[in-house]
Chain A
Amino acid sequence: MSIAPTSTAPRLQFANASKWYGSVTALMDVSFQVGNEVVGLVGRNGVGKTTLMKLAAGLLQPSQGEVRVAGVPAGSRAARAALGFCPDTDRLFESLTGVQFVAWMLRYHGLGAATARRTAEQVLDDLGLGPAMHRKVGTYSKGMRQRVRLGQALAHRPAVVLLDEPMTGLDPIARAELAERIAALPGRGVGVLVSSHVLHELEAIADRVVLVHQGRLLAEGKVADLRRQLPGRPQTYRLAAPDLRELAAALVALPAVQDLSVGAEGLLVTAGDGAAFRAAVTELAAAGRFAIREFVPVGDDLATVFESLVG
């Protein structure tokens, strides 16, 4: 299927796109589109999410089918100008300051030095980096680095941004802040495709999710619709913090918590109502009572979704 170039074309469109390396198929016949909305791309590690992202960014060419950004073929100069890419790598240009890095990236889009710097300062200020934007990237926390990565993807005012695993490694507060910023992007005219292997991360921000499994598009729809396939299933989370016992005492009082154990890797908590539990943990972290370093689902229910969809 080819995509007719019309003025109503979506911001990002996959049309029967396939990608294979020799005899290995990475993606097979994938079709979906992203408008002025947040679309979550979900799948386990190694199922083709990154390949899909790279096809959209023009870093790979589809073996078959078509990928278009803002109505033009992905990878073309016009497509690159209309696209912002936030890779999953955490190693930015450590010797540059946040402003220098974003301004540097802007100059590749054709902005003059002074304009690029001014725009970079404005974008990083909007993202809440504050005076830290003038410090070297090497001194940043993971949350600050993520803001800089997001800043460089948004600074040239793209029509669509690709966010590859943006929540990885962030503490609960930073996750909540980032989720809020991502959810606000469509309101500013930016379409978003955000990938994650953790379904609940996308729940708060994605209008729709696209499930990818073994290189195929398995399902597409609203997160709530997908979740309905798992009524009442408890979820287990792992938390890490310096004061584990105090944290355990606080968590056990929560009505959502069904089971709790302290192990070598941290605190394992099973919650009946995952959404309520996550909100409660975020509140605890935001209140500053506990320095929660890690908060990740163990055996996320995504696997069960896949199993039920695959049959």
Chain B
Amino acid sequence: MTPLGLRYRRADHALVPAWRRWWPLARQEFLVPFRSKVGIAVFCLCLVPAVVRLFVLMIRYGMVDFGAAARGDVIGRSQAWAQWDSGRPEFYVELVMGTWPGLPVLILLTGSATAGAIARDRRTNALELLWTRGITPFGYLLARFCGSLGSLCLVTVAAPLALWVAAALMVDDWQQLTSTLPFLGSVLFALLLVSAVWTALCLCLSAMASSPSQAIVLWCLLLVGSTALANIAAGVLREPNLRAWLSVWDAGGTLARHVAGVSTRVALGPALGFLSGLLLLLGLGAWRRLRVGEAVA
């Protein structure tokens, strides 16, 4: 029997399909960093490394003239270090994956928005209200994930893409475009993949935490703490690869570099295993905490 049998006063307008009902939540999550002045300031701060690289490109290609010495210095650096050469994948990958400024940017971005997302809803009993609606815990999690990933990717994927476009436009001929186009897809995919892994980990912690501040602390501990522990273990055991296998940050970097085709001496397998295991573990914990009865008890 349907509620219609009770003269249920169903509204007379067409309903959107179930899969589209989580869209407003995803949109809200995406806009979180831009809802306050502090959020906008944090977001702009996170774009500073990309702006610096854009400035370097402008000097190199003569858009800004600081004299021949400055230009020569930039060209020299780009020839010496791949991560300053816009013709190589390192330029785009290391913008996001370099420990400095990549790690602080990630902590700032995810810490100010994603980490508190679900914990805040739990704290304010919003989950209780949402579960009485036409949205399931899976839809809720998916919406939060897509929204958070979207805002993170503005810095981790869109900014490198913008740099690539800028570099291609600054060069007089098509050489930059044709030489970099083959690896652009894999670079962007690598950055998207790692962003997705980080967003998922951060959201899982947020779902497991009982308050936004606890979620933020746990997330920072996971990123910085695992890196510190991995560094200590690598030093004590004299195995540098341990850094990439036990640190969430370095494991993500290893994954991104392998997928993007950047040369690295660290094996992908252990880093991938570490990230997958961690994701599975935290995912199970989050799923358990988001079950309807558990979330409201």
Asked if B13 contacts A108 (CB within 8 A), the reply is no
Given contacts A104-B24, A108-B135, contact A85 B296 (CB under 8 A): no
Q: How far is the CB of B110 from chain A (nearest CB, A)?
A: 19
Q: Does A75 contact B (CB under 8 A)?
A: yes
Asked if B15 contacts A11 (CB within 8 A), the reply is no
Q: Does B67 contact A (CB under 8 A)?
A: no
Asked if B3 contacts A111 (CB within 8 A), the reply is no
Asked if B3 contacts A70 (CB within 8 A), the reply is yes
Kindly list chain B residues whose C-beta atoms are within 8 Å of the C-beta of A70.
Answer: 3, 6, 8
In the complex, what residue of chain A is closest to B36 when comparing beta carbons? A95
Given contacts A104-B24, A110-B15, A111-B13, contact A159 B132 (CB under 8 A): no
Q: Does A151 contact B (CB under 8 A)?
A: no
Complex alpha-carbon distance, A85 and B10, angstroms: 17
Complex alpha-carbon distance, A85 and B132, angstroms: 7
Q: Is the interface of A mostly helix, strand, loop or mixed?
A: loop
Of A7, A58, A112, the contact of B131 (CB 8 Å cutoff): A58
Kindly list chain B residues whose C-beta atoms are within 8 Å of the C-beta of A57.
Answer: 128, 131-132
Q: Does A228 contact B (CB under 8 A)?
A: no
Stretch at the interface among A76-84, A197-205, A248-256, A268-276: A76-84
Asked if B129 contacts A87 (CB within 8 A), the reply is yes
Asked if B3 contacts A108 (CB within 8 A), the reply is no
Complex alpha-carbon distance, A115 and B3, angstroms: 22
In the complex, what residue of chain B is closest to A164 when comparing beta carbons? B128
Within 8 A of B (CB), among A128-186: 152, 156-159
Binary interface profile of B, 80-124, with partner A (CB < 8 Å = 1, else 0)?
000000000000000000000000000000000000000000001
Complex alpha-carbon distance, A111 and B21, angstroms: 8
Kindly list chain A residues whose C-beta atoms are within 8 Å of the C-beta of B129.
Answer: 85, 87, 105, 152
Kindly list chain B residues whose C-beta atoms are within 8 Å of the C-beta of A21.
Answer: 297
Asked if B1 contacts A72 (CB within 8 A), the reply is yes
Q: How far is the CB of A77 from chain B (nearest CB, A)?
A: 7
Q: Does B154 contact A (CB under 8 A)?
A: no
Q: Does B134 contact A (CB under 8 A)?
A: yes
Kindly list chain A residues whose C-beta atoms are within 8 Å of the C-beta of B25.
Answer: 108
Asked if A91 contacts B125 (CB within 8 A), the reply is yes
Asked if A91 contacts B124 (CB within 8 A), the reply is yes
Kindly list chain B residues whose C-beta atoms are within 8 Å of the C-beta of A189.
Answer: 7, 9
Binary interface profile of B, 10-28, with partner A (CB < 8 Å = 1, else 0)?
1101111110010111001
Asked if B296 contacts A59 (CB within 8 A), the reply is yes
Q: How far is the CB of B256 from chain A (nearest CB, A)?
A: 34
Complex alpha-carbon distance, A81 and B125, angstroms: 20
Given contacts A107-B24, A110-B18, contact A60 B9 (CB under 8 A): no
Q: Does A6 contact B (CB under 8 A)?
A: yes
Asked if A59 contacts B131 (CB within 8 A), the reply is yes
Kindly list chain B residues whose C-beta atoms are within 8 Å of the C-beta of A80.
Answer: 132-134
Q: How far is the CB of A150 from chain B (nearest CB, A)?
A: 13
Of A71, A75, A108, the contact of B5 (CB 8 Å cutoff): A71
Q: How far is the CB of A259 from chain B (nearest CB, A)?
A: 40
Kindly list chain B residues whose C-beta atoms are within 8 Å of the C-beta of A71.
Answer: 1-3, 5-6
Q: Does B182 contact A (CB under 8 A)?
A: no
Q: How far is the CB of B215 from chain A (nearest CB, A)?
A: 17
Asked if B134 contacts A93 (CB within 8 A), the reply is no
Of A91, A113, A159, the contact of B3 (CB 8 Å cutoff): A159
Q: Does A9 contact B (CB under 8 A)?
A: yes
Asked if B134 contacts A81 (CB within 8 A), the reply is yes
Kindly list chain A residues whose C-beta atoms are within 8 Å of the C-beta of B293.
Answer: 59-61
Asked if A89 contacts B21 (CB within 8 A), the reply is no
Of B11, B28, B131, the contact of A111 (CB 8 Å cutoff): B11
Kindly list chain A residues whose C-beta atoms are within 8 Å of the C-beta of B10.
Answer: 81, 157
Kindly list chain B residues whose C-beta atoms are within 8 Å of the C-beta of A69.
Answer: 3
Q: Does A5 contact B (CB under 8 A)?
A: yes
Q: How far is the CB of B131 from chain A (nearest CB, A)?
A: 6
Q: Does A289 contact B (CB under 8 A)?
A: no
Of A7, A89, A159, the contact of B1 (CB 8 Å cutoff): A7
Complex alpha-carbon distance, A59 and B53, angstroms: 51
Kindly list chain A residues whose C-beta atoms are within 8 Å of the C-beta of B11.
Answer: 111, 119, 156-157
Complex alpha-carbon distance, A58 and B131, angstroms: 8
Q: Does B130 contact A (CB under 8 A)?
A: yes
In the complex, what residue of chain A is closest to B22 when comparing beta carbons? A108
Q: Does B64 contact A (CB under 8 A)?
A: no
Binding site for B on A (CB under 8 A): 5-7, 9, 11, 21, 54, 57-61, 69-72, 75, 77-83, 85, 87, 89, 91-93, 95, 104-105, 107-113, 115, 119, 152, 156-159, 189
A-B contact pairs, 16 of them (CB 8 A): A6-B1, A7-B1, A7-B5, A11-B6, A58-B132, A60-B297, A72-B2, A81-B3, A82-B6, A85-B128, A89-B125, A95-B36, A107-B21, A112-B13, A157-B11, A158-B8
Q: 20 extra interchain contacts, Cβ-Cβ under 8 A, other than A78-B3, A87-B129, A152-B129?
A: A5-B1, A9-B6, A54-B296, A59-B128, A60-B296, A79-B3, A81-B10, A82-B6, A83-B132, A87-B125, A91-B124, A91-B125, A92-B126, A108-B21, A108-B133, A108-B135, A110-B18, A110-B134, A113-B24, A157-B10
